[in-house]
Amino acid sequence: MDDELSEDLWQARAVPSLTRDEARQRAQLITVDRMEVDLDLDRGAEHFGSTTRITFSCNEPGAATFLDLRPVSCERIELNGTPIDPATITDGRLPLADLRAENTVEVVATMAYSHDGQGLHRSHDPADGEDYVYGHLFLDAAPTVFACFDQPDLKAPYSVTVRAPETWVVVGNGRATRADDNLWRLSETLPLATYFVTVCAGPYVSLHDSHDGIELGIHARRSLQGELERHAPQMFEVTKQSFDHFHSTFDVRYPFGDYDQVFVPEFNAGAMENPGCVTFRDQMLFRGAATREQVLQRSNTISHEMAHMWFGDLVTMRWWDDLWLNESFAEFMAYTATSTATEFTDSWVEFGIARKQWGYAAERAPSTHPVAGSPAPDAHSALENFDGISYAKGASVLRQLVAHVGKDAFDAGVTAYLRSHAHGNGELAEFLAAMEQASGRDLGDWSRAWLETAGVDVLAVDRDGTLTRTTPSQYPADRVHTLDVAGFTDGAQVFRTDVVLEGPSAQVGLDAAAAVVVPNAGDLTWAQVDLDETTRGNLARELPMIEDPVARGVLWGAVLTGTYRGTVDPRFALDVAAEAWAGESDDALLSRVALALTDRIVPTFLAEGEVTPARARLAEAAAGVLDRVEPGSARALVAARVLAATTTDETVLRGWLDGRDLPVGLDGDTDFRWLVVHALARLGLADDALIEAAEASDRTLTGRLGGLTARAARPGTPDKEWAWRELTTNRDRSNYELNALATGFWSSGSVETLRPYAARYVDDIPHLAQWVGADALDRVAALAFPSRVVEPETVELVRAAMARPDVTAGVRRSMGDELSKLEEALASRARWA
């Protein structure tokens, strides 16, 4: 992309965001009856043609509204046969005046492919020299692909045609049929919100199956055909199991025809729930060995996106305030499905240690917000609430709702809500009304406490059986917790008590002699946990012996969240991990605890002089696991990865790089080889020749990113300067390349070397908004944050930057969230120094 085109894209994106009030006014004025979209993808690598015909009605003839449109150029616009000057497009809006009762608007335009994962993204695969295209129209990128009324409550059927190069195939929301002259026609859809429309095109390879009358397809880049064929049987199985579960639970059939799942390159999110054509990041087609947790995560994502076919697609939130009606439900329904309908009966363990930890971090940040009704005055502000609260907390709150009203009433309420709002839109009040009707209970107080008030309570139990609930003072709420308390000695459960905590404290029956007492042992409620002194003293010895993986997850989580909150010394967390981690039998707990220690606790909560010996202790623990567990098992794979990330043994790393003495199952594993390259780079042991040799053996998108991360990870001053310049000034870098550079940059180097980049971060990163879309830039702003410079001066720099008017709302949110983590590390250092 040259600078001129970058400027075009900047102009197309630098537009005011649609406000809630504007959306409400437009929805009251018009109804969109049908969308016809013709895309010409056979015009080269930079631009594509877009022709849109929209039929819509207006209930106030003579009134005016506007169309959303962000083209590179516009060749023709007609409203009811009357030409409109394209020069009237201002800030991405085309005024439409003197509307009739029935209207047709036609727009012929030239659009630009994106390289940041938004709009119609085009990616070049160096493995086969082919280009691949996919549409990601979330959150407000649809006007960069076709003219539209871009808001979630103006749904309409779509009729789409796509002209593509001869060797390409096309997949979209409707079944694609190839006609003459490389033209593909997609069957007309049911009513869709604009941000759910997608087209995937390129020389994709495909596998097909069917289930319960639904045609299934899974697609990927041609260079990933081997991985697709290896993983497809398991993915088809989970897809079928999820369909059966949701059909039974919702008692509403999947309505959108075929069900295609497309694994696409350089995808910003994990996946996107486009009706009938779900898109996934293609790293989920694991190239090498995969742990059970990784396959679980992919399976859960498959189930999550399918749950959206009902919550989000069939019934769409009226405005972004009710984002939770999409994401909280998909999160909850997915884990329910995987735990009951698939082999992953323990999926809630991964939810507790991965997703809930993400959500608790969001609750501790200054940007915390309620699950439901979180203000979204415009579309851009809504993007900030796609976080651990809308997903993990929302799912946890729904678990509490099931406990509160009963599963039968909950399922009946869900079915009634879906049927009464099918192909339309819904909001919090309407969902609650359906639940109240089904359960016969007033849910007003429950909703205000759990859905409409931010904050997370802290639960603790002392040895006299007093269970306490501490509510955050800035977000007072009387949340009723349904939970259990359990005790263990020598790994055996000695008691478990069910509790409904309706006030700030309650007495529970327990065995005070239990070595370990676990509040919320079943992880049923949303609350951080403080452990009593006796439990902390016995924890390292007892943890590996406890058979219940959910209770172990709660205990591990209490150690991690306690460290972040400053109530647990990070050295205690390290001690527990050094003694107990090697005995952990669940690979999700094993990998997530190690990730928390290696990526955050050790490098930021410990003083610089303590980091190297701490990493050595983790490396020793990982080596011990490798020596003891079954070779080639998931636990062995986790341990090998942790060892590669923490060891300073050059002999071991170079041997692995050359294929010598590799752990079982990692021969020829290119992704593990990149972990080794990155480890050598962080130690200053990867010269240009070594990295170039690694790239030469992996001429793929992943290999290209691996090389960038390795170069940025080298600790020398010239390497850091090169990496920062590439990150902040090279406009040709894709969204994934920016992520790779940012990830590598902060993974090594002394604080002295890195300190100047704290000031450069606040100056340079906001500037990227000139050519990087908001969704991609928010991620870059988080990854590039100077988290290793744990100093008060960094806090001052970032706070000053957040007050500047040139910093976008999304970047400000990313800065603020990362700053809260840095302040947690500073507070911990001050308390436990």
Query: Whose structure tokens read 């070779």?
Result: 631
Element (H, E) at 264: strand 259-264
Give 96: exposed, middle or buried? Use CB within 10 Å, 0-12, 13-18, 19+: buried
What CA–CA distance (Å, rounded) separates 326 from 260?
20
**What sign for the dihedral angle of Cα 783, 527, 595, 698?**
negative
Annotation marks residue 350 as catalytic: no
3-state secondary structure of 726: helix
**In sequence order, what DSSP letters do the residues of 426-464 get, joined into one string?**
E-HHHHHHHHHHHH----HHHHHHHTSS---EEEEE-TT
**All residues at 6 or more sequence positions from 472 whose CB lies less than 8 Å from its CB, including other chains:** 455, 456, 457
Instruction: Using alpha carbons, select from 181, 188, 91 the residue that is nearest to residue 143.
Output: 91
Rg (CA), the chain: 27
Q: Using an 8 Å Cβ cutoff, are 317 and 427 in contact? A: yes
What CA–CA distance (Å, rounded) separates 363 from 517?
25
Instruction: Using alpha carbons, select from 649, 638, 704, 700 the residue that is nearest to residue 672.
Output: 638
What CA–CA distance (Å, rounded) separates 267 from 470?
40
**All residues at 6 or more sequence positions from 709 whose CB lies less than 8 Å from its CB, including other chains:** 674, 678, 681, 740, 741, 743, 744
Determine the residue type at 422: A
**In sequence order, what DSSP letters do the residues of 325-393 get, joined into one string?**
HHHHHHHHHHHHHHHHHSS-TTHHHHIIIIIHHHHHHHHHSTT---SSS---SBHHHHHTT-STIIIII
Q: Using an 8 Å Cβ cutoff, are 223 and 284 in contact? A: no
Please state at what angle helix 292-308 crosses helix 225-250, rounded to 10 degrees.
50
Torsion angle in degrees (nearest 10) through CA of 159, 165, 171, 172: -30
3-state secondary structure of 542: helix
User: Among the options 266, 305, 363, 384, which is catalytic?
Assistant: 305
**All residues at 6 or more sequence positions from 696 whose CB lies less than 8 Å from its CB, including other chains:** none
Strands 527-529 and 457-461: parallel
**All residues at 6 or more sequence positions from 238 whose CB lies less than 8 Å from its CB, including other chains:** 299, 302, 303, 338, 342
Q: Distances in Å between the alpha carbon of 682 and those of 527, 675, 736, 782, 790?
A: 37, 11, 20, 20, 19
3-state secondary structure of 201: strand
Chain mean position to CA 416: 29
Q: Using an 8 Å Cβ cutoff, are 280 and 262 in contact? A: yes
Q: With b meaning 16 or more CB within 10 Å and e meaning fewer, what string describes 368-388?
A: bbbbbbbebebbbbbbbbbbb
What CA–CA distance (Å, rounded) separates 615 from 403?
42
What CA–CA distance (Å, rounded) separates 51 from 744?
42
Backbone angles phi, psi at 62, to 5 degrees: 95, -15
Catalytic residues: 305
